[in-house]
């Protein structure tokens, strides 16, 4: 049994390999499919060859590992020095697809490169902007983030979007088995088995899926043993409208990153994130996205799955997450490692995702209620969630708006949640606290 003084619950310190290997692997399994899926989708949409698609997946793992190490340990001013796992962002997929179909994939990469530079500049000035993100604002963004991720988790649970057997009894069975396994080990066991409950659930689901015919190992025969990721494979082109649309998405990504950093610091470390952590984290997002563009993949950002995992386990040791980053880099060099994990059925991942995404929402609630839930704060939360989450549920509200507006506000609703919360926090009058002096007597 692990005591609460164990180094795995501390940012620094060197845990044993017996503890860190399964916990590090757990983080990678939690984000692996989400890290490579956006690239598989855009490669299919743009009719790329199998070789190009394989190269993109390989680079996604390699860059994710590098960017995660930067977040964990800092590289100059870049990095939050917090256990933040980085990966390819789903949020950029709609605008990247639109740019790719219009101008080609090299225009996507050119816009991503410029967007990364803009995010670095934004992160550098975040200290002055931080006052606009008190707990009620950042907590509302985190809450909305968890809520917005739940449909994604449920789609995984049912087999994944586009699956021919979406919603089948087999998929629902696998997802339920994983969810119950995670719940059992998390709540009814102690020590490493409780902390690694997500990993155990994914492993159990994977093993059960094999005799059900859900895992096809025959694909492994076509993969080479060693392959070094290649930079500048597709080149760059720069189109002004593509750059503007992509920069807008980077602003949305920055808002998400602020929420992720805030949630990790509050729920994992038990304090608010510092200005330096928020600024360094956003700048690392930008640097990671520039690296991503160099290696021909979509922008990198902090992963919500892993924020939820930290909220669930409280394991915040940066060396554990860094070990997981090492696995990602190896998977980028030895394609078979990543291929075995990528064969995991979506329903297996969905069973674990439901718990992790819901924990993000709970982290947001904790942040919001860390201050008195006054009438003013309640209004900020209610209106921000109502508009943002409501819009994401009914994106057709914006059907008559320009396509750029639809892309910015209609995809997840998070940018509207953040914008509404920030504006309301500025314009709503703060409630005065009346102090009654005990020594005063009423005659």
Report the distance separating Cα 295 and Cα 52, nearest Å. Answer: 12
Is a pLDDT exceeding 60 seen at residue 437? no
Report how far Cα 78 is from the mean position of its chain's Cα atoms: 18
Task: Return the structure tokens found at 129.
Answer: 């902007």
User: Which pLDDT value is given to residue 180?
Assistant: 95
Least confident of 58-72, 85-99, 197-211: 85-99
Strand 300-302 and strand 86-88: pairing? antiparallel
User: Which pLDDT value is given to residue 443?
Assistant: 46
Report the distance separating Cα 174 and Cα 204, nearest Å. Answer: 9
Helices 335-342 and 318-333 cross at an angle (nearest 10°) of: 110
Q: What percentage of the chain reaches a pLDDT higher than 70? A: 92
Residue 408: band (very low, low, confident or very high) from pLDDT cuts 50, 70, 90: low
Is a pLDDT exceeding 80 seen at residue 113? yes
Report the distance separating Cα 196 and Cα 194, nearest Å. Answer: 6
- Residue 435, classed as helix, strand or coil, is coil
Dihedral (CA of 328, 330, 332, 336) sign: negative
Convert the pLDDT of each residue in 180-237 to its tens digit: 998 999 889 887 787 778 878 888 999 999 999 888 888 777 777 788 888 998 889 9
Report the distance separating Cα 112 and Cα 123, nearest Å. Answer: 16
Tell me the mean pLDDT in the region 302-326: 84
User: Which pLDDT value is given to residue 112?
Assistant: 95
Burial 292-308 (b: 16+ CB within 10 A, else e): bbbbbbbbbbbbbbbbb
User: Which pLDDT value is given to residue 427?
Assistant: 94
pTM to 2 decimal places:
0.72
Q: What percentage of the chain reaches a pLDDT higher than 90? A: 28
Is a pLDDT exceeding 90 seen at residue 238? yes
Higher pLDDT, 16 or 195: 16
Measure the N-to-C terminal CA separation of the chain; round to a whole number of Å.
62
Report the distance separating Cα 276 and Cα 235, nearest Å. Answer: 34
Q: SS3 breakdown of the chain: % helix, strand, coil, rounded to 5? A: 70, 0, 25
Convert the pLDDT of each residue in 353-403 to its tens digit: 888 778 778 878 988 988 888 999 999 999 999 998 888 788 888 888 876
**Average pLDDT along the chain:** 84
Residue 266: band (very low, low, confident or very high) from pLDDT cuts 50, 70, 90: confident
Higher pLDDT, 279 or 252: 279
Cα 143-149-153 angle, rounded to 5 deg: 135
Report the distance separating Cα 178 and Cα 200, nearest Å. Answer: 8
């Amino acid at each position: 049994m692990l005591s609460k003084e164990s180094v795995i619950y501390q940012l620094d310190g060197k845990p044993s390999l017996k503890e860190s290997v399964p916990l590090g692997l757990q983080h990678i399994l939690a984000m692996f499919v989400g890290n490579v899926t956006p690239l598989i989708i855009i490669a299919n949409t743009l009719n790329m060859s199998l070789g190009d698609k394989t190269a993109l997946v390989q680079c996604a793992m390699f860059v994710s590992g590098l960017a995660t190490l930067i977040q964990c340990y800092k590289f100059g001013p870049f990095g939050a020095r917090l256990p933040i796992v980085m990966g390819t962002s789903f949020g950029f997929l709609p605008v990247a697809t639109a740019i790719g179909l219009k101008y080609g994939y090299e225009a996507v990469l050119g816009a991503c490169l410029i967007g990364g530079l803009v995010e670095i500049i934004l992160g550098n000035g975040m200290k002055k902007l931080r006052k606009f993100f008190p707990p009620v604002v950042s907590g509302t963004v985190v809450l909305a983030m968890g809520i917005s991720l739940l449909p994604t988790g449920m789609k995984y649970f049912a087999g994944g979007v586009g699956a021919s057997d979406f919603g089948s009894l087999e998929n629902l069975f696998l997802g339920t088995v994983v969810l119950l396994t995670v719940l059992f080990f998390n709540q009814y066991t102690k020590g490493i088995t409780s902390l690694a409950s997500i990993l155990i659930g994914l492993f159990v689901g994977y093993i059960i899926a094999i005799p059900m015919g859900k895992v096809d190992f025959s694909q492994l025969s076509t993969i080479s043993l060693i392959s070094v990721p290649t930079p500048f494979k597709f080149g760059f082109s720069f189109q002004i409208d593509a750059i503007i649309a992509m920069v807008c998405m980077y602003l949305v990504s920055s808002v998400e990153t602020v929420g992720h950093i805030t949630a990790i610091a509050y729920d994992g470390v038990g304090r608010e994130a510092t200005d330096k952590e928020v600024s360094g984290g956003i700048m690392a997002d930008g640097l990671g996205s520039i690296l991503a563009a160099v290696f021909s993949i979509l922008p990198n950002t902090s992963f919500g799955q892993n924020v939820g995992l930290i909220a669930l386990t409280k394991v915040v040791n940066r060396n554990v997450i860094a070990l997981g980053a090492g696995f990602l880099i190896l998977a980028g060099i030895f394609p078979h490692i990543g291929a075995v994990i990528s064969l995991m059925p979506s329903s297996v991942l969905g069973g674990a995702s439901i718990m992790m995404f819901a924990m993000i929402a709970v982290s947001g609630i904790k942040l919001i209620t860390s201050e008195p839930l006054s009438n003013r704060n309640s209004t900020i939360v209610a209106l921000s969630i109502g508009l943002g989450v409501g819009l994401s549920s009914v994106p057709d509200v914006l059907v008559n708006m320009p396509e750029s507006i639809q892309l910015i506000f209609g995809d997840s609703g998070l940018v509207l949640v953040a914008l509404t919360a920030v504006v309301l926090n500025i314009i709503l009058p703060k409630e005065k606290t009346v102090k009654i002096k005990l020594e005063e007597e009423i005659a």
